Structure 1
Amino acid sequence: MKYRTDIDGLRALAVVAVILFHLGFLPNGYLGVDVFFVISGYLITSIVYGRSEKGKFSIIDFYERRIRRIIPLLLVVSTVAFLLGLVYMLPDDLENLCQSVVASNVSANNILMYLTSADYWAVKNDYKPLMHTWSLGIEEQFYLLYPFLFYAMGGPRLKYVKHVLIALTALSLGAFLLQDSVAATFYFIQYRFFELAIGGLGAILFSKVVIERHEQGRMVLYGLLGLITLILFLPIIPTNELRVLLTTMITVGILIIGKQYFESDRLYAGLMANPAVAFIGNISFSLYMWHQLLFAFARYAFLEEITPGWAIVLTGLTFVLSIITYYGVENPFRDRNVMSTRTVLLFTGGLFLLSTSAAFYVYTIGGIVKDYPELALYRDQLPEQRNFFSGSDNIHISYNENVWDLDRDFSETDKIKTLVVGNSFGRDAANLLLESSVSDRIEVRYAEWKELREREEMKSRLLAADRIILAAQTYIDQDYLASLEEAHGITIDRSKVWMLGTKDFGFSNGIHYNRIQDDTDFQNYRTAMKGDVLTINEELREEWGDRYIDLIELLANEEGRVLVFTPDGKFISQDTVHLTRSGARYLAERLQDRFDRIFRG
């Protein structure tokens, strides 16, 4: 198979789009990954199909080539991410990074991202150094299955492989179009298979077809290049599904038609194979692997915002690291004359075991690799129980989750019966009450929003409660009370109901952790809040009037920037939305007078 210099240009276009997307400058740049998928399917199928035709296809050889191409750099990058995480990250974030290291190393970060960060476009993903390896998970799962199709269809059966591939492509495309879950279609191989397979079909169906070169063909090729550029760089397509489909079809069109022109057409070669573009295309895998790691740690530890100036600096550093690993890792490991198979397997196997086991161990201790006084977490206080994919007993959420023990009926008591209703923000509200000066005269019980309406036994709690405290992250109006009354056939006394307000502590605690010094003025150290928190807070205040307990008012200054630490230097929130014990105690103290009035005998 003759080397396609124009494919380097496609790779360059794709990786530049992805980099600009992760810098926050190109909303559709994520589609560069779809371009990569089609290219991968086209090239892999061209090689595998060609070898199968000659009766020379070997699964062992296929996997050796894939290992040499992908695994060494992946392990180097995931190991560097792990080491940087040990230095710069708070334990909860380090624990999450360790999950990603293990998942990336075993080609499953797409599955982990689906389970933990279903919204790919969520701001929190900007702070995840290995978030982008989800796409490698897709490709490696494809490679795990794909060669067996050609192995099973070898010899005289090879002529039917295109029919099987067409059927599988149709199934995958149908599943993609019919699946309602955006997260599922984004992260799972069954919904992405068609992109790689369409590239493969382009290679098979046009492997021996020679398209006559003429002016109309050139115009079509230039038109496809213009279209793919517009789709990647301008928000002209309304839905993600249509963007993906158009990107896939246009990319395979360029690959098919470009095959006839990449050597003969000077303009096409000038655009797609000039030295600068070709070099970017050659190092595109290293660029892809390093860029998100650098951007994420920059955001996490140093920069509140990646400005155009910092974008240039970080992109330059990405290029430097990529050049180093292209010549120092990618090329040597790919070349069998430089690196023997035994050496490749020893290196990749050793680094895999070392990085995976180290990351898994740090995960099991909740990322607490040293003392973190800002979170009141200390090594000598580690729980005996290790963290093995735990839920509510995870050390970082256990304070909030312990409130589930209060999901029970009131007892016979003279204390003021207080029902807290909400979600995790409701559990924060319960902790506020339990840490307050009124805790000795109230009996706190807890109920989830949905369950309070649907569970029959909740009726007795509503009737027995002397006080009802609602708490939520988003806007909740008084119609919710009417829905409870309708569900249970009761009337709720509005005079015993209060709404505890929303709260937010910015985008990441990491930058604050890495900035604080011995002389930090914690009583005035503040950060900006996310999104529309102030708008929601104002809407809640207007809805609930004097029955609104405004937390933002206690935390924010006139510019809308909120406190991050208690006066003694403890984080108010461990994840920027939920309260630490120190944060609950601090806010409870500031709410003392309000609580005294609410829970007056």
Structure 2
Amino acid sequence: MSKIPLFLLTGLVVLLVSNVMAASSAARSNLLGAADPKVSGEYAFSQCRALQGKPFASNTQKKKALIVGDSYGCDFLNSVLENGYLKDYQIRVRFIPYSCQTVLGEGSEHFIDAKDRAFCAKPERADSLERAKVQIQEADLVIFSARWKPEIAEELPGTLANLGLKPQQKVVVVGSKFFGKISVREYLRMSDAELKALKNTVDIAEAKTINATLAKNLGNQAAFVDPHALLCGEGARCPLFTDDLKLISYDGRHLTKDGARYVGKVLFEHSALGQM
């Protein structure tokens, strides 16, 4: 067997090390950009704002999909768009801020904190289920995605009943997700292998309890998708990076662009969403 000349072997080692260092440097650069709340925050909401309250077009054969929810609904929209899902649908959004989450029915205003009621009552500031009801009834596919409050999750079956949804409408409820505290300075000191293996321990009440309520109570009213179970498993530890070292969430709750692409693939490939 012929031997590789020493100078060639040395060159190959140098090239390999250089490539590894370049890849690691690129990963750290990507991390800093993705963790910037101004940059990723603008990304998280920009496409959501463009579709908020926009009516369905009548001059197309495409079906109608409506995403109803808060900032987590915007995350879901980004997960769809980053992967090119729901191409057969014209997609619209009804954005209802977290503080304005309510049920549909008598006494619904009592589900909004007193300090938020004036803000939530202004159509130019916040949407509502009551204002969105007509468009919800018009959609072929309705996806509710939110950082669910416990009391809203409890009342969701009644809310769905009061919306007057038709049997032919497809309804999906996407549960809550949470990735815990993000510590960029700490991640910059870690090796690639450590980042890939890194998982945060998250608040079990936020991560699992509300989703368990939704899964138990919805019955056959809607298909339920549990992001925590799909992304983190049955425990309380969630990954922070994709296999190619891309940061999933920039603040523990909302997704980076790479995170939206990653989360979307997981949700659509392992739940009822893939059949839509």
Relative to the length of structure 2, the TM-score reads 0.66
CA displacement, residues 322-346 of structure 1 (integer Å, 9 cap, x when unaligned): xxxxxxxxxxxxxxxxxxxxxxxxx
By how many angstroms is 1:477 displaced?
3.5
Unaligned runs of 5+ in 1: 1-370, 383-392
More relative contact order, 1 or 2 (CA 8 Å, 6+ apart): 2
By how many angstroms is 1:472 displaced?
1.6
1:562 and 2:209 are equivalent in the alignment = no
1:532 and 2:178 are equivalent in the alignment = no
Residue 180 of structure 2 corresponds to 506
Residue 400 of structure 1 corresponds to 44
The 5 Å alignment of 1:270-419 reads: 372-374=29-31, 376-377=33-34, 394-402=38-46, 403-407=48-52, 408-412=54-58, 413-419=60-66
1:477 and 2:189 are equivalent in the alignment = no
By how many angstroms is 1:437 displaced?
4.1
Q: Given the alignment, which residue of 535, 538, 542 partners 2:216?
A: 542
**Residues 479 and 558 (structure 1), Cα distance of their counterparts in 2 relative to 1, 3 Å cut:** closer
CA displacement, residues 105-125 of structure 1 (integer Å, 9 cap, x when unaligned): xxxxxxxxxxxxxxxxxxxxx
Residue 492 of structure 1 corresponds to 165
Residue 464 of structure 1 corresponds to 138
Structure 1's consecutive aligned runs of 4 or more residues displaced over 6 angstroms after TM superposition are none
User: How many residues were matched structurally?
Assistant: 209
- Whether the aligned pair in 1 keeps the contact of 2:203 and 2:236 (CA below 8 Å) is no
1:431 and 2:78 are equivalent in the alignment = yes
By how many angstroms is 1:434 displaced?
1.5
**Residues 448 and 484 (structure 1), Cα distance of their counterparts in 2 relative to 1, 3 Å cut:** farther
**Residues 414 and 493 (structure 1), Cα distance of their counterparts in 2 relative to 1, 3 Å cut:** same
**Residues 469 and 509 (structure 1), Cα distance of their counterparts in 2 relative to 1, 3 Å cut:** farther
Give me the whole-angstrom Cα distance separating, in 2, the residues matched to 1:397 and 1:564: 17
Per the alignment, in what secondary structure is the counterpart of residue 596 of structure 1?
A: helix
Per the alignment, in what secondary structure is the counterpart of residue 87 of structure 2?
A: helix
Per the alignment, in what secondary structure is the counterpart of residue 66 of structure 2?
A: strand
By how many angstroms is 1:496 displaced?
1.8
CA displacement, residues 10-47 of structure 1 (integer Å, 9 cap, x when unaligned): xxxxxxxxxxxxxxxxxxxxxxxxxxxxxxxxxxxxxx
Unaligned runs of 5+ in 2: 1-27, 101-126
Give me the whole-angstrom Cα distance separating, in 2, the residues matched to 1:420 and 1:481: 17
**Residues 398 and 422 (structure 1), Cα distance of their counterparts in 2 relative to 1, 3 Å cut:** same
Per the alignment, in what secondary structure is the counterpart of residue 218 of structure 2?
A: helix
Give me the whole-angstrom Cα distance separating, in 1, the residues matched to 2:234 and 2:185: 22
Per the alignment, in what secondary structure is the counterpart of residue 255 of structure 2?
A: coil
The farther-off stretch of 501-510 and 512-521 is 512-521
Residue 4 of structure 2 corresponds to none
The aligned amino acid for 1:544 is: L
Residue 261 of structure 2 corresponds to 585
**Residues 443 and 509 (structure 1), Cα distance of their counterparts in 2 relative to 1, 3 Å cut:** farther
The aligned amino acid for 1:397 is: G
Per the alignment, in what secondary structure is the counterpart of residue 445 of structure 1?
A: strand
Looking at CA atoms only, which structure, 1 or 2, has the larger radius of gyration?
1
Give me the whole-angstrom Cα distance separating, in 1, the residues matched to 2:147 and 2:134: 26
Q: Given the alignment, which residue of 565, 568, 574 partners 2:250?
A: 574
**Residues 444 and 502 (structure 1), Cα distance of their counterparts in 2 relative to 1, 3 Å cut:** same
CA displacement, residues 409-461 of structure 1 (integer Å, 9 cap, x when unaligned): 11122223111111111111111222234242222111123523343xx3431
Q: Which has more strand, going by share of residues?
A: 2
Percent of aligned pairs with the same amino acid? 29
By how many angstroms is 1:484 displaced?
7.2
Per the alignment, in what secondary structure is the counterpart of residue 444 of structure 1?
A: strand
Give me the whole-angstrom Cα distance separating, in 1, the residues matched to 2:34 and 2:210: 33
The 5 Å alignment of 1:100-249 reads: none
Give me the whole-angstrom Cα distance separating, in 1, the residues matched to 2:233 and 2:242: 15
The aligned amino acid for 1:543 is: N
1:445 and 2:92 are equivalent in the alignment = yes
CA displacement, residues 56-89 of structure 1 (integer Å, 9 cap, x when unaligned): xxxxxxxxxxxxxxxxxxxxxxxxxxxxxxxxxx
The 5 Å alignment of 1:243-262 reads: none
Give me the whole-angstrom Cα distance separating, in 1, the residues matched to 2:31 and 2:73: 24
**Residues 478 and 441 (structure 1), Cα distance of their counterparts in 2 relative to 1, 3 Å cut:** farther
Residue 274 of structure 2 corresponds to 596
Give me the whole-angstrom Cα distance separating, in 2, the residues matched to 1:484 and 1:439: 23
The aligned amino acid for 2:244 is: D
- Whether the aligned pair in 2 keeps the contact of 1:526 and 1:563 (CA below 8 Å) is yes
- Whether the aligned pair in 1 keeps the contact of 2:182 and 2:250 (CA below 8 Å) is no
Residue 297 of structure 1 corresponds to none
Residue 262 of structure 1 corresponds to none
By how many angstroms is 1:578 displaced?
0.4
CA displacement, residues 146-203 of structure 1 (integer Å, 9 cap, x when unaligned): xxxxxxxxxxxxxxxxxxxxxxxxxxxxxxxxxxxxxxxxxxxxxxxxxxxxxxxxxx
Give me the whole-angstrom Cα distance separating, in 1, the residues matched to 2:225 and 2:68: 14
By how many angstroms is 1:549 displaced?
0.7
Give me the whole-angstrom Cα distance separating, in 1, the residues matched to 2:235 and 2:31: 25
Relative to the length of structure 1, the TM-score reads 0.32
Give me the whole-angstrom Cα distance separating, in 2, the residues matched to 1:580 and 1:469: 21
**Residues 544 and 427 (structure 1), Cα distance of their counterparts in 2 relative to 1, 3 Å cut:** same
Give me the whole-angstrom Cα distance separating, in 2, the residues matched to 1:439 and 1:512: 38
**Residues 553 and 515 (structure 1), Cα distance of their counterparts in 2 relative to 1, 3 Å cut:** farther
Give me the whole-angstrom Cα distance separating, in 2, the residues matched to 1:404 and 1:543: 31
By how many angstroms is 1:375 displaced?
5.3
The aligned amino acid for 1:405 is: A
